[in-house]
Amino acid sequence: MLDHSKLEKSLIDIVGTKYVSSELCDRLVYSKDYSIEGIADDYTPDIIVKPGTVDEVAEVVKIANQMNVPIYTWGGGTSMSGNPLAVEHGIVLDMKRLNQVLDVDPDNLTITVQAGTIIENIYNAALDEGVFFAHHPESSLSSTIGGALSCMGISIYGAKYGYVYDQVLAMEVILSSGKKIRIGGKSYLSLPTHNLLNLFLGAEGTLGIITETTLKVYPKPPTRDRISYGFPDITTAIEACKEAHAAGCWPETVFLFDRRSLVQYMERSKTPIPDEVSMAVLFGASGCIEMVETTLAVIAKCSKEQGGSELPQDITQSWWNSINIGKDTFDQSNFALSHTEYEPDLVDACVPLSRFQEYSDFCDDLKKEFGWVDIDFGAFIVGGPRGPIPFCIYFSVPIDTRIKAEVDKWFQFKERMYRRALEMGGSLSNANGLGLRSSPWVQDQLGSAWDLLTDLKSLLDPKNILNRGNRGFSS
Amino acid sequence: MERLEKFEDWARACMHVRCGFCRENCPAYSQLQLDTYAAKGKMTILYHLLKGKLELDEAVAERVFACTSCGLCDVACGYNQSEAIHEMKTVLYDQGVAIPEGYMKVSTKTRESGNPYSVDANEGARFLQSLPESELSTADYTLFLGCTQIYRESNEIGSLLKILRAAGVSFRIPTEQICCGSPAYRVGDEAQAREQARRVTNLFERMESDNILVSCAGCYRMLIHDYEILLNDDAKFKITHSMEFLQELVQDDKLKIRPLNAIITYHDPCHLGRHSGVYEAPRQILSSILGVKLVEMEWNRKFAKCCGAGGGFRSGRGEDAIAIAANRVREAEATGASILVTACPFCLRNLRDGAQSVNSQMKIESVESLLAELV
Ligand SMILES: Cc1cc2nc3c(=O)[nH]c(=O)nc-3n(C[C@H](O)[C@H](O)[C@H](O)COP(=O)(O)OP(=O)(O)OC[C@H]3O[C@@H](n4cnc5c(N)ncnc54)[C@H](O)[C@@H]3O)c2cc1C
Ligand code: SF4
Ligand code: SF4
């Protein structure tokens, strides 16, 4: 039996009273992320702790180890798949006091930050020194870099600059024993052996706790601009992307939204969308003015050749503002507003590029089978990091979570969608991490490689204290 | 609890998306550090209160009351979550839950003495009666002065009067001092706020005034928005804030203003800016001063960060309020300005205390005090 008061006292001794709470009203705040999983079950932690230094993190981990209490690392809590949820209750470790930008080095094009730093602050700290940090998720204002490194992370600039993984040069990690290790360095290729960074990137807090990282920054492109095109379907939209790639375009933003997603993203601006648009693509380019103009002109030509028609400028602008939420677009997010009536959750899967349309059609048919004919669904696709080639498709499925039967149906629907993706030679996508939502099928997909992963988990976390029971690992 | 049900949709939306956009700029979170203190946390509490998983207890009250009512979360969210938070305060108050002492004092003091500072109301009346404009029986405007101005920042009144007199404005001043009710309202004491609203309305009716001039941002918000809700009645008077009024005086060349060589930045009071939409008038006044260079803080206008004083926070959590003000002063320093100007006596006080707490050299003024020195 867990001795709660002993645990609380030990944690207070490490970080002080202000940063520890076992009040129910606090614990409930840390018990749910975006996913419907968080509503369907109880993931309320026993205690919240918010350390202020790396050493304090290590001390907390040691206590958890000694007392055999699971510890769930929590950044912004913005993840979408139930990733930081306290499956076995225990401790939630809030990382947001480790929020210092330690070094911006424009000469070497690096920035070093603590893992609890909010991404927007990294972005702005880089800009202050004239360099550009390229990982910019829609949740930039509220999510941490530690969270992004732990569940992949897609950037609005990802088509040119890649995933957040591509930005990492070095990391400091606290292992489950409390031991601190450093991997990588300031120079590129600081990884003389295996790329050990990959052990912790995308590990969703299950193998170690990231406390610091050195990231790549880039020379700041002098200009950027965007256009958007509407297409009759996914296939033509993807063909246009491929042609643009063949033509040598290297845009930084490639976002594909179906009609429903676009409507959702226009919630605040109320910008009307032309009737004929079924799939729309937002292309953004950066560089010198000639490069930007040429890129967008060539993309426009490729899009038209595929039957695309240019969308009005105000759609492009509203679309961009609503995914580029930052200091100047603080009031532009549509997230909360578009989530009252129904609560969408995601199916986060990857299928081979040529089968995106087929998978989307399957989703439509399945929707009918489930009787969800009057509910609009959203699909969106993201390009990067191999230029304007889309790589990942999501389906947003709006459920009325007040109705238990609907929630149950969602779980059945989700299973059918994931299984179909695997049958099509696809994959569970790591784009939002697996968390609780996508992990039930991970063993099926990995086969015997799953054993290697669980062996690694046992090696790195013998007492299974790190995010116990999450991401497919045992309770 | 019924009163909270109308916010169920907003709470559910928040429980679902969990975007956290309201968190980093929330003054309460910046000081108190658990996610609970941001609107996200408070909406989580609301959701679970409605579900019956949480009860209205002391811990809940401590979290909910830790809110300056600044409304910055509303801008991020899209829903006016600060309204729901205000409603939670009211329900906690009405249910008799032990609300934190400092906040409660605002209510008891207003109930006992008629003002949140517990000063003998006769003192306020004597002060008002000492002003010559209180003897007038008619004038174009009635100038309503708030408790913070009268009892804590009377120099500010001197500045305002100097400007109005210099411009030859026809105004008179009530002989009675009545609190507008804002402090009590913001700590959930709706009944007392309603009582104050009645008294102030009666006062104006007795004086047969329908053109009211207000220079406290808190009073202004109260008179222009909240009275209609509290009294369930349409607006009866024309309410003008001194910033808009002074801006017109400046525009119409009614004031001779000496030049001032200074870099100035302006802090938008939440009650005046975000809640009432007055952003440009104070800026126009400042820019019209010859030699002044007006620069903006990183977070300004609709996005302006709070000084930390509102919603009873200064009474309830004095040190935290001052620390929040100090952060705002630091933001002002980063602009290169030497004077930080605001348009609310409450902000002024808190920002001054904030500046002092970090030994900042920043001079903190109100638009009125700055202008008065130059006319
Ligand atoms: C409005 C909104 C928009 C979004 N837009 C995007 C987008 O454009 N692109 C995108 O990629 N994602 C997006 N997301 C999803 C989410 O923001 C990202 O997954 C984000 O990276 C999560 O970061 P976080 O700090 O909130 O992490 P959390 O949600 O707190 O945690 C995520 C996972 O990381 C682990 N973790 C957190 N910190 C650490 C650490 N220091 N060490 C080890 N493990 C850690 C947690 O245990 C958990 O498993 C969006 C979410 C929302 C709500
Ligand atoms: S109104 Fe201001 S203090 Fe209150 S929760 Fe919102 S942002 Fe925080
Ligand atoms: S911005 Fe709104 S929806 Fe998002 S976390 Fe805050 S209160 Fe909830």
A170 and A49 co-located in one domain: yes
Residue A377 has a pLDDT of: 64
Q: Residue B24 and residue A141: Cβ atoms within 8 Å?
A: yes
B263 touches chain A (CB under 8 A): no
Contact A343 B59 (CB under 8 A): no
Q: What pLDDT does A376 receive?
A: 64
- pLDDT tens for A204-244 read 999 999 999 999 999 999 999 999 999 999 899 999 999 99
* pLDDT at residue A385, rounded to an integer: 63
Residues of B in contact with A76 (CB under 8 A): 20, 23
Judging contacts by C-beta atoms under 8 Å, the chain A residues touching residue B16 are 34, 39, 339, 343, 401
Alpha carbons A343 and A398: distance in angstroms, whole number:
5
For residues A309 and A394, state if they share a domain. yes
Is there a single domain that holds both residue A352 and residue A214? no
Same domain, A34 and A87: yes
Interface contact A142-B13, CB threshold 8 A? no
Whether residue A22 is found in the same domain as residue A102? yes
Neighbours of A391 (CB within 10 A): 20
pLDDT score, position B153: 85
B17 lines ligand 3 (CB under 6 A): yes
CATH topology of domain B255-372: Rossmann fold (3.40.50)
Query: How many helices, marked H, and strands, marked E, lie in chain B?
Result: 21, 8
Going from the C-alpha of B111 to that of each of A420, B175, B194, the distances in angstroms are 67, 20, 12
A311 and A213 part of one domain = no
Pocket test for ligand 2, best of B43, B44, B65, B72 (most atoms within 8 A of CB): B72
Q: Whose CA is nearest to atom 7 of ligand 1?
A: A137
Min Cα separation B335/chain A (Å): 14
Residue nearest to atom 2 of ligand 2 (CA): B70
Distance, CA of A395 to CA of A390 (rounded, Å): 15
DSSP of B65-110: H------HHHHHHSS-HHHHHHHHHHHHHHTT----HHHHHHHHHH
Same domain, A99 and A209: yes
Within 8 A of A39 by CB-CB distance, chain B residues are: 15-16
- A22, A24, A25: best to mutate for the B interface, most B CBs within 10 A: A25
The two domains B112-246 and B255-372 share their CATH topology (first three levels equal):
yes
Mutate to test the interface with B, among A332, A335, A403 (most CBs of B within 10 A): A335
How many angstroms separate the alpha carbon of residue A77 from the centre of ligand 1? 6
B325 close to B295: Cβ distance less than 8 angstroms: no
* Cβ proximity of A143 and A137 under 8 Å: yes
Q: Give the nearest chain B residue to A51 (CA atoms).
A: B33
C-alpha B229/C-alpha A221 separation (Å) is 51
CA A249 to chain centre: 26
**Low-confidence residues in chain A, pLDDT < 70:** 340, 374-377, 384-392
Torsion of CA B296, B302, B306, B309, to 10 degrees: 120
A445-466 pLDDT, tens digit per residue, is 999 999 999 999 999 999 999 9
Confirm or reject: Cβ of B26 under 6 Å from ligand 2.
yes
How far apart CA B290 and CA B97 sit, in angstroms, is 54
- Check CB contact of B97 with chain A, cutoff 8 Å: no
Q: Any bridge partners for residue B315, and if so which? A: none
> Whose alpha carbon is nearest atom 3 of ligand 2?
B67
A202 and A232 co-located in one domain: no
Nearest-by-CA chain A residue for B73? A331
Do A169 and A241 reside in the same domain of the chain?
no
pLDDT of residue A114: 98
**Contact in structure between B12 and B58 (CB atoms under 8 Å):** no
| pLDDT of A450 | 96
To which residue do tokens 């492109």 refer?
A: A221
Residue A155 belongs to a domain with what CATH number? 3.30.465.10
DSSP letter string, A404-457: HHHHHHHHHHHHHHHHHHHHTT-EE--TT--TTTTGGGHHHHHTTHHHHHHHHH
**B298 vs A: CB within 8 A:** yes
Phi, psi of A103 (to 5 degrees): -160, 130
Pocket flag, ligand 3, residue B43 (CB < 6 Å): yes
Question: Is there a single domain that holds both residue A200 and residue A255?
Answer: no
Ligand 1 centre and the CA of A145: distance in Å?
8
CA B315 to chain A, closest CA, distance in angstroms equals: 20
Average pLDDT, chain B: 96
B102: amino acid identity, one letter: G
The partner residues of B341 in beta bridges, in order of sequence, read B266, B365
State the pairing for strand pair B141-144/B171-172: parallel
| A388 residue type, one letter | P
What is the CATH classification number for the domain harbouring A366? 3.40.462.40
> Could you tell me the two tokens for A244?
């643009």
Peptide bond into A45 cis (omega under 30): no
CB contact under 8 A, A25 and B60: yes
> In DSSP terms, which residues pair with A392 in a beta bridge?
A382
Token pair 């991020």: residue:
B76
The ligand 2 atom nearest the CA atom of B82: 1
Which of B9, B73, B75 has the most ligand 3 atoms within 8 A of CB, as the residue to mutate? B73
Chain A residues whose CB is inside 8 A of the B15 CB are: 32, 39
- How confident is the model at residue B234, as a pLDDT? 84
Q: State the CATH architecture for B112-246.
A: 3-Layer(aba) Sandwich (3.40)
Q: How is residue A144 annotated by DSSP?
A: B
Kindly give the distance from the C-alpha atom of residue B14 to the centroid of ligand 3, in angstroms, as a whole number: 5
> What is the distance in angstroms between the Cα of B186 and the nearest Cα belonging to chain A?
22
Ligand 2 centroid to B274 CA: how many Å? 12
B58 touching A (Cβ < 8 Å): no
- The verdict on A199 and A110 lying in the same domain is yes
Residue B312: both structure tokens together:
């009873």
Residues B164/B168/B170/B173 CA torsion (nearest 10 deg): 30
Closest CA of chain A from B328, distance in Å: 16
**B20 contacts B40 by C-beta, under 8 angstroms:** yes
CA B31 to chain centre: 20
Q: Which residues of chain B have pLDDT under 70?
A: none
Instruction: For residues A13 and A100, state if they share a domain.
Output: yes
Q: The domain containing residue A231 runs over which residues?
A: 224-433
State how many domains chain A has: 2
Return d(Cα A47, Cα A30) in angstroms, integer: 10
Residues B25, B28, B31: CA angle, nearest 5 degrees:
95
| pLDDT score of B243 | 97
**Residue A213, SS3 per DSSP:** strand
**Could you tell me the residue ranges of all domains in chain B?**
2-99, 112-246, 255-372
Sheet holding B141-144, edge to edge: B171-172, B141-144, B211-214, B238-241
Angle at A161 between CA A159 and CA A164, to 5 degrees: 105
Burial of A128 (0-12, 13-18, 19+ CB in 10 A): exposed
